Amino acid sequence: MASSEKLRVGEAIIDLLVREYGVDTVFGIPGVHNIELFRGLHRSGIRVVAPRHEQGAGFMADGWSIATGKPGVCALISGPGLTNAITPIAQAYHDSRPMLVLASTTPTDALGKKFGPLHDLDDQSAVVRTVTAFSETITDPTKLPALIERAWNVFTSSRPRPVHIAIPTDVLEQFVEPFTRVTTQTALPVSNESDIARAAQLLAGAKRPMIIAGGGAINAGDALVQIANAIDSPIVLTGNAKGVVSSTHSLCVGSALVIPRVQDEIEQSDVVLVAGSELSDADLYNGGRALNFTGKVIRIDIDVEQMQRRAIPDVSLLGDSRITLTALAQELNVSSSNSGSERAANLRKSARAGVRQDLLPWIDAMEQTIPKGTVVALDSTQLAYAAHTVMACDTPRTWLAPFGFGTLGCALPMAIGAAIADSTKPVLAIVGDGGWLFTVAEMAAAIDEGVDIVVVLWDNRGYGQIRESFDDVQAPRMGVDVSSHDPSAIARGFGWNAIDVNTIEAFSTALSEAFENRGAHFIRISVS
């Protein structure tokens, strides 16, 4: 492209993202108000994935982001396009993942004036501000490069969160010179050496240590293992950290923070290291009660405000978990013996005993059948809840689930996003019949994109988990006994290979055959 060639603003945005930030995939649905973004996408030659609903675009971008570690990018239309995507934006926000949302908005001369133009929101930026790191409407195109740079600093130098940039339709159509990157790289915060030394001293002297690793430590697996080995400490993972330490490691308890026995062990420990975790209600799932730490607490987090939530630490280490844990590991020249492996093994037994026992054979069948390194996306459904706690995972960024927001319908589009991110990895989605219907149309997108995915449908004829919750409090059931009627016929209608099973043996056979053959495969488990 000649430097003198002018571009429409929509084209210039895409050109900048591709040229300077390495964006190679965008998720979105075209409309009359974002044509200029799609003109830029066409000109760039990058991969554009068109889902069947903007909610699907957001979930795909989120799944893609988990798998790659890079920000997912969405191109949306004004008004309903943006509002349709709010749920996955909120999910990414709650689980601290990067997402760039580019959306058209009302023409400049009508902004906030309630003239009633098509797709008008009185203040589109305000609509999503509570679930983004920042949300801005840009009427001066010269400010866009600096704003995009600001977004990337959020993604790379602080707690990653979604960013929304709204551009009026008339601004998208203006001609400008190609954008130049405005470099304002912000350095990651780094803990001071004295605090790291103090934390190392506490850990070295611990007699009953515990380590909790959250999603913020997703890139810190080696350092976590080094520290755990040095102080002989069990490692408990939150859902977003599943796979950061291999399930086969003798000190790995797994994603069992919701299990009361595990919480008791943490509360009784004399030193607890918490790395990259909010210790949120969603992580603990114990009625809103925070952990009652009786020993010393060391917290590592990139978000300074997070240090004072849920548990005030004795030592605060502000910074990126990987960098900080690596520095901490270098300070630990000890080799403690604190019965770590024995404690971890007992906690794993408690975790397995703490889930619904009738679900375990199905989970065991999946563990024994799916290929090593399979990416697993899970919806909010009974089978998934048990899988979070007991199913093995050996690789980070291969376990995708709505931990922070608890959404329904996310697993299928997240799985599609992950499959697009890396076509060499096998992908499994575990869904319930209720949640699956939220985004069932994305089965068509999967076929269009030619991705290889296996979907396991846990069909309990409605919202099974909610049905049990009604029964637990003796409330009359309402709205929970819904039906997907004939899920396999629906799947076949979208072009998928589909089979119904109702025994463990049939399930294992169907699962094995699905992974042996390319394409989109749908396995319905009919629950009596």
162-217 pLDDT tens trace: 999 999 999 999 999 999 999 987 888 889 999 999 999 999 999 999 999 999 99
Q: Which domain holds residue 281?
A: 193-352
Query: Is the pLDDT reported for residue 2 higher than 50?
Result: no
Q: How confident is the model at residue 439 (pLDDT cuts 50, 70, 90)?
A: very high
Residue 452 in domain: yes
Exposed (0-12), middle (13-18) or buried (19+): which is 5, by Cβ within 10 Å?
Answer: exposed
- How far is 326 from 13, CA to CA, in rounded Å? 37
Mean pLDDT for 408-416 is 97
336 and 366 in a single domain? The answer is: no
Render pLDDT for 503-525 as a digit per residue (tens, 0 to 9): 999 999 999 999 999 999 999 99
pLDDT for 483: 78
Residue 2 in domain: no
331 and 286 in a single domain? The answer is: yes
475 and 521 in a single domain? The answer is: yes
Mean of the per-residue pLDDT values of the chain:
93
pLDDT for 308: 84
Mean pLDDT for 431-457 is 96
Residue 96 in domain: yes
Render pLDDT for 59-97 as a digit per residue (tens, 0 to 9): 999 999 999 999 999 999 999 999 999 999 999 999 999
Encode burial over 180-207: b for 16+ CB neighbours within 10 A, e otherwise: eeeeeeeeebebeeebbebbbebbbebe
169 and 200 in a single domain? The answer is: no
- How far is 311 from 200, CA to CA, in rounded Å? 19
Residue 184 in domain: no
418 and 474 in a single domain? The answer is: yes
Mean pLDDT for 29-44 is 93
CA distances from 415 to 66, 129, 504, 520 (A): 10, 27, 24, 11
343 and 366 in a single domain? The answer is: no
Query: Is the pLDDT reported for residue 1 higher than 70?
Result: no
pLDDT for 66: 97
- How far is 505 from 436, CA to CA, in rounded Å? 24
The domain boundary, picked from 352, 372, 389, lies at 352
Encode burial over 73-91: b for 16+ CB neighbours within 10 A, e otherwise: bbbbbbbebbbbbbbbbbb
Residue 188 in domain: no
Write down the pTM of the prediction: 0.94
Are 401 and 453 in contact by the 8 Å Cβ rule? The answer is no
The domain boundary, picked from 294, 329, 352, lies at 352
Query: Is the pLDDT reported for residue 118 higher than 90?
Result: no
Mean pLDDT for 291-318 is 92
Choice between 421 and 113, residue whose per-residue pLDDT is larger: 421
294 and 374 in a single domain? The answer is: no
Share of the chain above pLDDT 90, in %: 81
Q: The CATH number of the domain where 423 resides is what?
A: 3.40.50.970
Residue 390 in domain: yes
CA distances from 297 to 39, 107, 175 (A): 53, 52, 56
Mean pLDDT for 220-240 is 96
Query: Is the pLDDT reported for residue 3 higher than 60?
Result: no
Q: The CATH number of the domain where 256 resides is what?
A: 3.40.50.1220
The angle that helices 54-68 and 86-94 make with each other, rounded to 10 degrees, is 30
Exposed (0-12), middle (13-18) or buried (19+): which is 314, by Cβ within 10 Å?
Answer: middle
78 and 112 in a single domain? The answer is: yes
89 and 167 in a single domain? The answer is: yes
pLDDT for 4: 60
- How far is 149 from 509, CA to CA, in rounded Å? 50
Residue 231 in domain: yes
170 and 199 in a single domain? The answer is: no
Task: Give how many domains the chain has, as a whole number.
Answer: 3
| 3-state SS track over 460-503 | CCCCHHHHHHHHHCCCCCCCCCCCCCCHHHHHHHCCCEEEEECC
321 and 454 in a single domain? The answer is: no
The domain boundary, picked from 352, 368, 396, lies at 352
Residue with tokens 């920042």: 134
DSSP-assigned states of every residue in 74-124: EEE-TTHHHHHTHHHHHHHHHTT--EEEEEEES-GGGTTS----TT--TTH
Tokens coding 12: 């210039």
472 and 507 in a single domain? The answer is: yes
Residue 187 in domain: no
Mean pLDDT for 125-146 is 97
